[in-house]
Amino acid sequence: MRKKAGLITGIAAAAVILGGATVAAAASTQTTDDQPLSGTELQQASDAALAKTGGGTVLKAETDDGGAAFEVDVMRPDGSKVEVSLDRSFQVSTVESQGRDDDDSNQPGLSAEHRDKAGNAALARVGQGTVSEVEREDEGGSAYEVEVRLNDGTQVEVQLSSDFQVLDQSAPKRDDD
């Protein structure tokens, strides 16, 4: 009888452990609902955000799993960043300051004009997506490094010369941020 009670206890403990592991595994595989915008939604969200911020460069535009329908990150011409939340009809609901990007503020010569030129050159090469970051680069003969988020959520890095000519492009990879 003692053996039988021990066996039942062992089976019950294994079931609890297995059930807990299943719940933990399911929780770890959940993904956010944020998806990069494309096409008409990207254009409308970008236009609304830029109109509200007084111009700049759209760094990222995606659906929002929070209270807003869309979220657009914009770098203003002065280098400051803002997050613009939009409702389903592309009306601005909030604008939240993200401050300045320390990487950009420490890089002489990275003006809004250079960011735009580098971003446009990278997008022309890649053919899709949105620019998520532009940095001055001084390694391997590159003057600029541009990260482009593709429509499928992957990212590529594009290396540019000082005259905005494409030198190299990485293979698409998932960004784990």
- Confirm whether pTM is higher than 0.85: no
Tell me: the pLDDT tens digits for 11-36? 555 544 545 444 444 444 444 567 88
Could you tell me the maximum CA-CA distance found in the chain, to the nearest angstrom? 84
Confidence at 48, pLDDT banded by 50, 70, 90: very high
pLDDT given for residue 66 in this prediction: 72
What mean pLDDT value characterizes the chain?
A: 77
Q: How far apart are CA 97 and CA 151, in angstroms?
A: 26
How confident is the model at residue 120, as a pLDDT? Answer: 92
Instruction: Dump pLDDT digits (tens) for 86-121.
Output: 999 999 888 888 765 544 444 455 777 888 899 999
What does the H/E/C string look like for the chain? CHHHHHHHHHHHHHHHHHHHHHHHHHHHCCCCCCCECCHHHHHHHHHHHHHHHCCCEEEEEEECCCCCCEEEEEECCCCEEEEEEECCCCCEEEEEEEEECHHHHCCCCCCHHHHHHHHHHHHHHHCCCEEEEEEECCCCCCCEEEEEECCCCEEEEEEECCCCCEEEECCCEECCC
Tens-place pLDDT, residues 117-176: 999 999 999 998 888 888 887 766 788 899 998 888 899 999 998 889 999 999 999 866
